[in-house]
């Protein structure tokens, strides 16, 4: 057992931490090495904690010490030799010494360290944690709120203790161990009421008498901080209870409901208070004050709590007290926002309506109205009437879906990045007002279709009848088209899509007006959405024509329009209503346009977007893509050679080449040289780790779609054969697909494979047999079996002997063991030997004789051992075709006239094999349909053995 080194002195610890905080890199690096050597010494982190706690030391040294303590002590805490219980108690007690720490970073880091140790010790080794924290919180809250002249240190200690409690509850709430969750529930019950009282008191003191004049004072800042921290602690406990309130007999449901009601009231108060301050023409200094920023964060935290509660169980959420008031309050703020300029709605706490506040409002409204739909109501009462729904839809379409100045500016500055964000289907929609409003509209359309569908249809009729002439009307048209696309599944039977295309959309898409690029982009997106929803149309040809036109470089277009059209074309081609004969005439224009767009795209994401569209078209076109092979190959070759092409882009290009080969089939010969280059580069250093599977897939597809090359001067994939064999013998991770590649090579031209690489191939077989797993060994033996069938023995026999592969198989069979002592492997070996015997029995016998020199055993011993296993393992062969194969091979062996084989006939083993197989054959023939009344006659077997 390794001896534990002696601990360093406190002075040594102080010096090494001081050096670690040095700005001199050499000194800091040496100190880091020393610190690593100290970590395994008893009580080291106790000394580090003492350094962090010493207020007279430089601040950067103390910060370095608390960082080292927080990062290191949890990993060593369970080591009883280094940290016995007495030292642990001292460390836990000193953690409370940071509760009056003036530096925020040190205090916050200590809070995280407390939480990490609490996760390990609570409740078994630290059962009084809740009592200790409650005592500090109670004592200091009384000093702050019950005293006429509160002590600033008490306020600081109260904030620090709440910070520690917040981190502890955050850590414990994520625990899954039953003991930990039970202890956390006890902690919640112990602290909920005192925290709720503190939260209410701090909230009232902050809100009472708040004016612009006292907004920036320290007292108001401290009170909003205390209110905020206590609320966060309460939320973590209540959320934990809410997630378990569905359990029958759970007693925390009433506490959850009561707190939710209190939170709603406080939210109304704080939100209105903040809005009122902005409406009083607040000056910039107060807007940027810490108090206002904390107030904004506090209001947003309420939204996070409401949203988290809703997401966990939206059906129960809408039944909570005052939930309906909360949802309508949020919607009222959305209505107010719609009438304000863009400057009032920013992703900042320094505006009256931060974007995150509005997105919270829309998200909560969206999921709640779905629960209030008529189909979910048990009676005829309707929470949302027709008038409200229509006003909400009108507000969304005419205000919230409009592109604003910031959108248009980003469109112009970086169109490719804008389109990536705009068409992202991830949960990012919750962070933007317009995407969030789109989801609200979709929900209203789904749940209140009888109200929403006719309204959108009427709006559409008005827009078609009155063409847009100015930029604002173009923006409104774009918003309406967005609404139609989002509700496409509801509008399929009402819109009159074919008439709309002929009357309006085609002309708008071909309009050279630069301002119409906004509508053009939305028209392309609309076509993609319409087809993606499975809506059929008789105007497919016109849709394909418009999209192909928009992909091209035309006047009044830009990268956003072209990329959107490319994606829309992919959606149309990939839809269930795709009509190939209608689309194929447009391919000679569409594919070059996509290749042109691919070459002009700047970002990797834009290029991948175009390639995905091209891949879908190639897959749908099949043989129709053959005339365009050359253009696509050239474009892919140029793109591959670009040094900035990242791994995902290269993987997309591999998919493109794979689809080309798969679609062109026997016409894919021109692809082989390009495929060979790509495959070889995928296995080069730097790419092999991430792209080897892509290369294997392409390799296999090309081989399976290749024809035998009758002209050796023409390059093909056989130049990669040595690489394939090298991978077969060395890469155990990819053995399965590599065996498939070797199988494809053998099926394509087995004699050529053996003429080129017979000996390396058999050496690779030997490596696989000795090192690989059972499944891979069986795959390899299947490949060898196929090789024996498709090539004469003159091409494989010598290599099989020289490589010692045959001798290894023979020895494993005779000794009745394989790498895994698995009979299944030996059955595969017998199957391979049977194929060899049927191919050339004389060569097989010669290989057995030659193996005597390799194995150091007499030839008669090897032959008799082989025959013993040949008979013994026959009953382990369950497949009828393989049993027949062994029976036929047995007859071939007898025909060799070998004396050992002839002598074994008298033991009746061979006859037993034949009789078993003939009996099975007779039974199978008797069970054929129509043969019931016919006598099954098996002809006699005559065996002539010439000696």
pLDDT at 928: 66
Residue 864 near residue 823 (C-beta atoms within 8 A): no
- For residues 412-418, give the mean pLDDT: 91
Which residue has tokens 């010096």?
A: 15
What is the torsion angle, in degrees rounded to the nearest 10, for the CA atoms of residue 353, residue 358, residue 359 and residue 362?
Answer: 180
- For residues 685-690, give the mean pLDDT: 86
The Cα 487–Cα 688 span in angstroms is 45
pLDDT at 935: 47
The Cα 724–Cα 726 span in angstroms is 5
Residues recorded for the chain: 947
The Cα 617–Cα 312 span in angstroms is 41
Q: What is the pLDDT of residues 573-584, one digit of tens each?
A: 998 888 889 999
List Cβ neighbours of 709 (8 Å cut-off, separation of 6 or more): 716, 718, 749
The Cα 169–Cα 190 span in angstroms is 13
Residue 515 near residue 471 (C-beta atoms within 8 A): yes
Judged by average pLDDT, the poorest of 195-204, 372-381, 476-485, 597-606 is 372-381
The Cα 248–Cα 887 span in angstroms is 68
539 pLDDT band, cuts 50/70/90, is confident
Average pLDDT, the chain: 88
pLDDT at 324: 94
381 pLDDT higher than 70: no
Which residue from 766, 761, 667, 752 is spatially nearest to 718, judged by alpha carbons?
752
- DSSP 3-state of 819: coil
The Cα 565–Cα 554 span in angstroms is 13
907 pLDDT band, cuts 50/70/90, is low
For the packed helices 774-790 and 823-839, what is the interaxial angle rounded to 10 degrees? 10
The Cα 219–Cα 682 span in angstroms is 64
Count of C-beta atoms within a 10 Å radius of residue 245: 19
- For residues 456-472, give the mean pLDDT: 85
List Cβ neighbours of 888 (8 Å cut-off, separation of 6 or more): 834, 838
Judged by average pLDDT, the poorest of 49-58, 230-239, 441-450, 461-470 is 461-470
Which residue from 656, 617, 622 is spatially nearest to 636, judged by alpha carbons?
656
For the packed helices 59-76 and 10-20, what is the interaxial angle rounded to 10 degrees? 110
- CA 170 to chain CA mean position, Å: 26
**DSSP output for 856-885:** TS-HHHHHHHHHHHHHHGGGG---HHHHHH
- DSSP 3-state of 821: coil
Q: Work out the burial of residue 462: count CB atoms within 10 Å of its CB; fewer than 13 is exposed, 13-18 middle, 19 or more buried.
A: exposed
The Cα 96–Cα 160 span in angstroms is 9
The Cα 425–Cα 355 span in angstroms is 20
The Cα 508–Cα 618 span in angstroms is 29
- For residues 146-172, give the mean pLDDT: 90
pLDDT at 944: 41
| Phi, psi of 319, deg, nearest 5 | -95, 0
Residue 874 near residue 826 (C-beta atoms within 8 A): no
pLDDT at 929: 60
Residue 591 near residue 617 (C-beta atoms within 8 A): yes
Domain locations in the chain as residue ranges: 1-121, 804-820+830-947
**DSSP output for 527-546:** HHHHHHTT---TTHHHHHHH
- For residues 188-198, give the mean pLDDT: 95
Q: What is the pLDDT of residues 279-319, one digit of tens each?
A: 887 788 888 899 999 999 999 999 999 999 999 999 999 99
Q: What is the pLDDT of residues 757-770, one digit of tens each?
A: 999 999 999 999 99
What is the torsion angle, in degrees rounded to the nearest 10, for the CA atoms of residue 479, residue 485, residue 490 and residue 493?
Answer: 100
930 pLDDT band, cuts 50/70/90, is low
**DSSP output for 594-617:** HHHHHHH--SHHHHHHHHHHHHHH
The Cα 814–Cα 870 span in angstroms is 9
Q: Work out the burial of residue 715: count CB atoms within 10 Å of its CB; fewer than 13 is exposed, 13-18 middle, 19 or more buried.
A: exposed
546 pLDDT higher than 50: yes
379 pLDDT band, cuts 50/70/90, is low
- How large is the greatest C-alpha to C-alpha distance in the chain, in angstroms? 122
The H or E element that residue 648 is part of is helix 647-664
927 pLDDT higher than 80: no
What is the token pair recorded at 799?
A: 């290599």
pLDDT at 88: 92
Which pairs with CB-CB distance under 8 Å and at least 24 residues apart come from 502-506? 502/539, 502/542, 503/464, 504/463, 504/464, 504/467, 505/546, 506/542, 506/546
- For residues 233-257, give the mean pLDDT: 81
Which residue from 476, 400, 474 is spatially nearest to 444, judged by alpha carbons?
400
Count of C-beta atoms within a 10 Å radius of residue 82: 19
pLDDT at 902: 82
The Cα 302–Cα 273 span in angstroms is 14
- For residues 147-166, give the mean pLDDT: 89
Residue 706 near residue 716 (C-beta atoms within 8 A): yes
- For residues 698-720, give the mean pLDDT: 86
Q: What is the pLDDT of residues 556-575, one digit of tens each?
A: 789 999 999 999 999 999 98
- For residues 503-526, give the mean pLDDT: 89
pTM value surpassing 0.85: no
- For residues 398-411, give the mean pLDDT: 91
pLDDT at 937: 47
Q: Work out the burial of residue 931: count CB atoms within 10 Å of its CB; fewer than 13 is exposed, 13-18 middle, 19 or more buried.
A: exposed
The Cα 396–Cα 405 span in angstroms is 17
- For residues 61-79, give the mean pLDDT: 93
Q: Work out the burial of residue 803: count CB atoms within 10 Å of its CB; fewer than 13 is exposed, 13-18 middle, 19 or more buried.
A: buried
What is the torsion angle, in degrees rounded to the nearest 10, for the CA atoms of residue 317, residue 319, residue 325 and residue 329?
Answer: 20
190 pLDDT higher than 90: yes
pLDDT at 933: 46
**Top-ranked range on mean pLDDT: pick from 410-419, 498-507, 920-929:** 410-419
- For residues 922-936, give the mean pLDDT: 62
For the packed helices 433-447 and 355-371, what is the interaxial angle rounded to 10 degrees? 10
936 pLDDT higher than 70: no
List Cβ neighbours of 219 (8 Å cut-off, separation of 6 or more): none
pLDDT at 425: 65
- For residues 195-224, give the mean pLDDT: 91
The Cα 361–Cα 215 span in angstroms is 26
Residue 88 near residue 77 (C-beta atoms within 8 A): yes
494 pLDDT higher than 50: yes
The Cα 880–Cα 868 span in angstroms is 21
872 pLDDT band, cuts 50/70/90, is confident
The Cα 300–Cα 291 span in angstroms is 14
pLDDT at 50: 94
């Amino acid at each position: 057992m390794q001896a534990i080194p002696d601990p360093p002195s406190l002075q040594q610890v102080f010096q090494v931490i001081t050096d670690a905080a040095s700005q001199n890199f050499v000194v800091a690096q040496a100190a880091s090495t020393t610190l690593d050597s100290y970590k395994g010494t008893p009580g080291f982190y106790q000394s580090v904690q003492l350094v962090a706690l010493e207020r007279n030391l430089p601040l950067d040294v103390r910060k370095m010490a608390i960082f080292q303590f927080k990062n290191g002590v949890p990993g060593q805490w369970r080591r009883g030799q280094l940290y016995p219980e007495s030292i642990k108690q001292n460390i836990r007690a000193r953690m409370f010494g940071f509760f009056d720490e003036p530096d925020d970073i040190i205090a916050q880091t200590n809070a995280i360290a407390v939480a990490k140790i609490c996760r390990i010790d609570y409740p078994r080794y630290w059962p009084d944690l809740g009592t200790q924290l409650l005592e500090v919180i109670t004592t200091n809250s009384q000093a702050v709120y019950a005293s006429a002249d509160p002590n600033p240190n008490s306020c600081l200690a109260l904030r620090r203790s709440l910070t520690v409690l917040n981190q502890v509850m955050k850590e414990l709430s994520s625990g899954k161990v039953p003991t930990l969750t039970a202890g956390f529930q006890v902690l919640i019950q112990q602290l909920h009421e005192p925290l709720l009282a503190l939260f209410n008191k701090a909230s009232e003191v902050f809100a009472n008498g708040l004016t612009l004049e006292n907004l920036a004072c320290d007292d108001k800042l401290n009170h909003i901080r205390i209110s905020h921290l206590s609320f966060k602690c309460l939320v973590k406990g209540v959320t934990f209870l809410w997630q378990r309130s569905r359990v029958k007999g759970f007693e925390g449901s009433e506490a959850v409901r009561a707190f939710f009601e209190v939170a709603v009231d406080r939210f109304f108060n704080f939100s209105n208070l903040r809005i009122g301050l902005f409406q009083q023409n607040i000056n910039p200094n107060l807007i940027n004050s810490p108090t206002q920023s904390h107030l904004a964060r506090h209001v947003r935290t309420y939204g996070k709590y409401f949203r988290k509660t809703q997401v966990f169980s939206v059906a129960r959420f809408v039944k909570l007290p005052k939930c309906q008031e909360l949802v309508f309050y949020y919607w009222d703020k959305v209505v107010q926002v719609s009438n304000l300029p863009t400057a009032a709605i920013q992703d900042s706490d320094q505006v009256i309506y931060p974007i995150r506040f509005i997105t919270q409002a829309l998200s909560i409204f969206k999921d709640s109205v779905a629960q209030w739909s008529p189909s979910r109501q048990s009676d005829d009462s309707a929470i949302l009437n027709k008038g409200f729904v229509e006003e909400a839809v009108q507000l969304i379409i005419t205000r919230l879906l409009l592109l604003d100045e910031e959108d248009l500016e980003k469109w112009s500055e970086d169109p490719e990045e804008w389109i990536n964000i705009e068409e992202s289907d991830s949960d990012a929609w919750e962070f933007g007002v317009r995407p969030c409003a789109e989801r609200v509209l979709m929900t209203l359309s789904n749940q209140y279709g009888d109200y929403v569908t006719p309204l959108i249809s009427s709006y559409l009729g008005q827009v078609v009848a009155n063409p847009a002439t100015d930029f604002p009307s173009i923006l409104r048209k774009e918003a309406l088209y967005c609404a139609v696309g989002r509700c496409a599944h509801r509008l399929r039977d009402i819109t009159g899509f074919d008439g709309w295309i002929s009357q309006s959309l085609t002309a708008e898409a071909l309009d050279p007006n630069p301002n119409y690029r906004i509508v053009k982009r939305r028209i392309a997106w609309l076509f993609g959405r319409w087809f993606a929803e499975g809506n059929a149309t008789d105007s497919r040809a016109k849709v394909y024509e418009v999209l192909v036109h928009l992909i091209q470089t035309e006047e009044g277009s830009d990268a956003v329009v072209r990329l959107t059209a490319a994606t829309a074309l992919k959606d149309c081609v990939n839809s269930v209503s795709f009509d190939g004969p209608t689309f194929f005439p447009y391919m000679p224009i569409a594919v070059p346009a996509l290749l042109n767009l691919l070459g002009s795209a700047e970002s990797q994401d834009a290029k991948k977007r175009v390639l995905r569209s091209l891949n879908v078209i190639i897959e749908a076109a099949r043989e129709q893509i053959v005339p365009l092979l050359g253009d696509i190959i050239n474009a892919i070759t140029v793109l591959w050679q670009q040094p900035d092409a990242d791994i995902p882009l290269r993987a997309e290009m591999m998919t493109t080449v794979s689809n080309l080969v798969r679609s062109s089939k026997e016409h894919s010969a021109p692809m082989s040289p390009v495929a060979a280059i790509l495959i070889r580069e995928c296995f080069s250093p730097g790419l092999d780790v991430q792209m080897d599977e892509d290369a294997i897939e392409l390799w296999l597809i090309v081989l399976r779609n290749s024809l035998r090359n009758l002209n050796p001067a023409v390059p093909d994939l056989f130049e990669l054969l040595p690489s394939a064999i090298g991978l077969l013998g060395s890469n155990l991770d990819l053995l399965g697909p590599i065996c498939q590649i070797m199988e494809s090579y053998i099926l394509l031209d087995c004699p050529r494979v053996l003429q080129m690489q017979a000996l390396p191939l058999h050496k690779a077989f030997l490596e696989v047999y000795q090192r690989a797993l059972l499944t891979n060994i069986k795959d390899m033996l299947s490949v060898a079996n196929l090789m024996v069938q498709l090539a004469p023995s003159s091409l494989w026999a010598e290599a099989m002997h020289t490589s010692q592969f045959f001798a290894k198989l023979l020895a494993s069979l005779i000794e009745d063991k394989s790498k895994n002592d698995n009979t299944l492997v030996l059955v595969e070996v017998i199957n391979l030997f049977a194929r060899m015997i049927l191919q050339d029995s004389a060569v097989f016998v010669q290989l057995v004789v030659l193996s005597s020199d390799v194995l150091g055993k007499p030839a008669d011993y090897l032959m008799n051992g082989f025959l013993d296993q040949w008979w013994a393992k026959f009953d382990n062969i369950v497949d009828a075709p393989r049993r027949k194969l062994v029976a036929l091979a047995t007859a071939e062996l007898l025909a060799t006239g070998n004396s050992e084989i002839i002598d074994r006939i008298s033991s009746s083993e061979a006859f037993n094999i034949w009789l078993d197989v003939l009996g099975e054959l007779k039974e199978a023939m008797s069970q054929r349909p129509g043969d019931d009344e016919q006598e099954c006659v098996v002809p006699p077997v005559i065996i002539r053995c010439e000696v």
